[in-house]
Amino acid sequence: AQKVTQAQTEISVVEKEDVTLDCVYETRDTTYYLFWYKQPPSGELVFLIRRNSFDEQNEISGRYSWNFQKSTSSFNFTITASQVVDSAVYFCALSEDTGGFKTIFGAGTRLFVKA
Amino acid sequence: EPEVTQTPSHQVTQMGQEVILRCVPISNHLYFYWYRQILGQKVEFLVSFYNNEISEKSEIFDDQFSVERPDGSNFTLKIRSTKLEDSAMYFCASKFQGLGDADTQYFGPGTRLTVL
């Protein structure tokens, strides 16, 4: 069965600090997709990144970077030089390449960035 | 850029009333979804819909819930007799294609349902 675990419920950092949000997943499929979404206080889900199971290459996008390691079933997200605008809830999610391709979300990590 | 839209943005209803939440998916998408997020909790899958029928549903999606694609553009979620615990944000999502290529699901902005 699919499962996504985000062990960090809340993280608080001071502006300009780097922060890493952890995500561990479980799946029986060999083909699957991993996502990160940001949910600001306004409530919408903002898509950040998608990774498929065959592509373990890490990715960097500006201050954001993602580390995908199949050996440990982890897909961690790092924000470099955090800013107050990064304050939000971040969800890691998993979608398997079967059935209706539903997305299973982790419980989310609430990030507070203080000025 | 195409986007998923949802109406209304906020719906307040009395317990026991029926509500219909509306979504307009991205026009060339083939898979449609509803998710629910109770305040402060994680986003939970409700149902997926493909080729005019439900392809998968969760335990949450009981007989009180139904989905419909009444025309070529709208995708609706109906709750027949709302309960207090149905109060949540409901997200619609759509995706272009399925087999072998689970493209990103694009989420709408959500409808906040408040049941009094």
Q: Give tens-digit pLDDT for B34-88.
A: 999 999 999 999 999 988 999 999 999 999 999 999 887 899 999 999 999 999 9
| Numbered residues of chain A with Cβ closer than 8 Å to any chain B Cβ | 31-33, 35, 37, 43-45, 47, 50, 52, 91, 93, 95-97, 99-108
CB–CB contact A105 B44 (8 Å): yes
Chain A, nearest residue to B31 by Cα: A100
pLDDT grade for B101, boundaries at 50, 70 and 90: very low
CB nearest A100 (choices: B31, B100, B104): B31
**What is the distance in angstroms between the Cα of B103 and the nearest Cα belonging to chain A?**
9
Chain B, nearest residue to A48 by Cα: B104
Cis omega (within 30 of 0) for bond into B8: yes
pLDDT score of B53: 92
- Below-50 pLDDT ranges, chain A: none
Per DSSP, the three-state class of A85 is: helix
- Close Cβ partners of B51 (under 8 Å, ≥ 6 residues apart): B30
Chain B, nearest residue to A41 by Cα: B40
